[in-house]
Structure 1
Amino acid sequence: MHIGIERRPARRGLAVAFGLALTLSLAACGDPEEDEAGPADGGAGSSEDAGVNTSPDQDRIRTDEVADIAALVPEEIRDRGTLEVVNSVGTVPPLNFYATDDETVIGVETDIATLVGDVLGLEVEFSTVDWANIFVGLDSGRYDAGFGNITVTEERKDKYDFATYRLDNVAFEAQAGADWSVEGPEDVAGRTIGVGSGTNQEQILISWSEQNVAAGLEPTDIRYYQNATDYYLALSSGRLDAYLGPNPSAVYHARISGDTEIIGSISGAGDELQGEIAATTKKDNGLVEALAAALNEVIENGSYGEVLDRWGLAGEAVEKSRINPPGLPRQDG
């Protein structure tokens, strides 16, 4: 299987992988390039020290073609022989990011897309574009599918079909050795919690704090941070009890640094809905059934689980790929 990379919009250094956790806006639902942050302090080890391969030589987990599923692919794509996959690369492992050569795109999204291509018997051609151009390219038919940490939303379902493959979670990250955990609103009553402004995480914290006050508990002291350096310094100095951010970057940082740990994770959609990340394709183009079937094949044969384990995201596994499940509600209500 050939994996090609289109010329990307800007060259980025990998820097210290664990320190580039983004304050991803889940209100924007999966944009991996928002609010980029610099390296965090803390004397953490390297990715290689923690057994994470960030080199261009990925030795990706692969699987076999399944003829019955490959037959579901629309004729035009089958005849072409390639699956044109579009993504957007940020600097936040373990999503799509650049390897140590600053050229090769690696990460959990890339690995899952590769497995899907294997099952469908198609050569995967990756194109790396700005976030907004994922959707422009899908609209025009230039790309077949997006694998870019894209969250299912009701608004997006008007224009796109989705086949889910990961839970969309956010996580509370605290200093290693924390003696408390978060399962619900009462656990953050009276706590000082960091968050990114304008994110779904902020909305969740505000809602939880209001619930606690209504129940006679202390409000949450919500502090705002724009980059990883600042909030990890606040964690290490004890000025923050925890930081609420995207689960993948929090898990990766905790794994690489050893300085922090995850003390709780919840749906990025809030209390009422489990958000899901999905392969995204133009609505009614006939591809979504093949994508979902391929994803269910790799879930069943175990290769999907191997990929998630590789990147530390077993907690975001789905039991089954679903087509167009309930998504985050429309912003206009």
Structure 2
Amino acid sequence: MMDYDVIVIGAGPGGMTAAMYAARANLKVAMLDRGVYGGQMNNTDDIENYPGYQSIKGPELGERMYETATNAGVEFVYGDVQEVTIDEQQTKHIRTDSDDFTTKVVIIATGSTNRKLGVLGEEKYSGKGISYCAVCDGAFFKNKDVTVVGGGDSAISEGLYLANITKNVNVVHRRDELRAQKVLQNRAFANDKMAFTWHAGVTEIMGDDQHVTGVRMLDNQTGEEKVINTSGVFIYVGNVPNSQMFKKLNITDEAGWIMTDTEMATSIPGIYAVGDVRQKKLRQITTAVGDGGIAGQNAFEYIERLNYEATIKQ
């Protein structure tokens, strides 16, 4: 069993920042992740709203954050966390699929994953024309017609990315206006390869034995159904928190988002949460980094209090 002062679960921007701050305070810090560091930045082509960069590729920004964290002394460990428990001494025990760890502080930075539409054909054609990541799969649809479902920043920025590769991009949105940033909207409306279907929701993803061939849509104002041909469907309709492994701790709301105060502290002393897994309004790289800095500093102060209390008892 490996023992640390701080274990950060998740290696996205919030997790890497928290780990870096804690390590710079001369704490023994491990950062656990079941995949490649960087989180959803690895699925993002151009990042244009991170201070200091006019534009930077998502994986490049992730690499730079990782180097900063590890240079500060953070240990990166692969592991899929199964459960977190707490003993009578308030030591946190983390069980992964391969190892067990103990720590004084846990910082949860597990992020969120793409929400599914939950419509007929989505499961059947997943990986056969359905994608949740244009950067990952866009190249498979070169010079083909594709459909993007959603109207937020992710939908429109990924739609613009696809417009550089595909023949045409049809954005299907349930409202009559987009929710994306105005700068993204302006680019999308000016792109002659992008079209928009308003007041519509996808009710079925259709295909043959091999791949997607079309989508069935329902106009939510007129009730009219329409089928359009498409070779790919890219879905961006929100996110769900990656918090299932923390359910027994009773620190989440009904939807699974982890509840914290402004100091990133949960209701359990020594457990903090940062980034997209938190119950919050704005989920961006910048807000995750801010969360991480606060949690990393508070982890240090929490451990300082523990050490002081231990000294007083002696």
TM-score, normalised by the number of residues in structure 2: 0.29
Q: Comparing both chains, which one has the higher relative contact order based on Cα–Cα distances under 8 Å and sequence gaps of 6 or more?
A: 1
Larger strand fraction of residues: 2
Decide which structure has the larger Cα Rg and report it: 2
